[in-house]
Amino acid sequence: GTGKTDIKGNMTAKNGGTVNIGAASGSTLAGNTTGDGTVTMKLADGATWTGASQNENTKVDLGGSWVQTGDSNGGTLDKSSSDSGTTNIGNLTGKMNVLYSHDAYEPSTVNGGDTIIGTAGSGSQVNLITDNSGLDMTSTSSSDRQKLDDTFSALANKLVYKANDGNLTGKLEIAEGLTSSSAALDVEDITFDKDGRGQFNGTTQPVIGPKETQIMKGTKTALLGAATLWRNNNNDLQRRLGDLRLG
């Protein structure tokens, strides 16, 4: 269905059984998937799963009509708790956001266990997101840039893709806050090593990322308004001076 669902507690499939869960429209699932059976979850419309899989028989489906095309409207796996364990997902289809927290004093210390994905449908994507606490996104100093690079690297290392067949791509995101709807300040690509572990091999630049933050939007609006007012006043002044010359 498409109605809101709120579930608290472990989702257990025993003796080879199957548990199917559909969650949409702001739904929340809080609990681990356990047992030797198969747990299939469909998450979308900002639905959030907070928990871990204790087997590799968890299938998370974000495909088809369940996926929204807008930013941050896919399903979200919340691993921001410092005691979040390893999450194993047997198969992933579609796009998923994974939230991680980090130590504000040592941002390269990313909390929570790995997110391990066995196989993925073609075109699937995982976005690893953390906030900007302890990071100066606009600084040009080498130490601040290195701190940001190290944070991206540690965040990328949290993702493991076992199949490593090119079906899964990944993004790293530093956001204004630790929610899937927070505006992105910087977005970088994840690459995978020969063992399927995520890597960050780039170098960040001291610029605000491709998504407009609320502060940027407000500043731009204010500047545009001031420029428009100046232009209108200047046009009025030119017309009056022209009238005086003609008179």
Q: CA 227, 228, 229: angle at the middle one, nearest 5?
A: 90
Kindly tell me if the per-residue pLDDT of 134 is higher than 80: yes
The strand pairing partners of 48, in sequence order, are 28, 76
Task: Tell me the pTM.
Answer: 0.64
**Could you read off the pLDDT of 7-38 as tens digits, one per residue?**
787 777 777 787 777 776 677 777 777 777 77
Q: Exposure string (b/e) for 142-179, b if CB count within 10 Å is 16 or more?
A: eebbebbbebbbbbbbbbbbbeeeebbbbbbbbbbebb
Cα 209 to Cα 212: distance, rounded to the nearest angstrom: 8
Distance CA 108, CA 3 (A): 39
pLDDT tens string 202-224: 877 764 444 444 444 444 445 45
HSE toward the beta carbon, residue 63, CA cutoff 13 A: 13
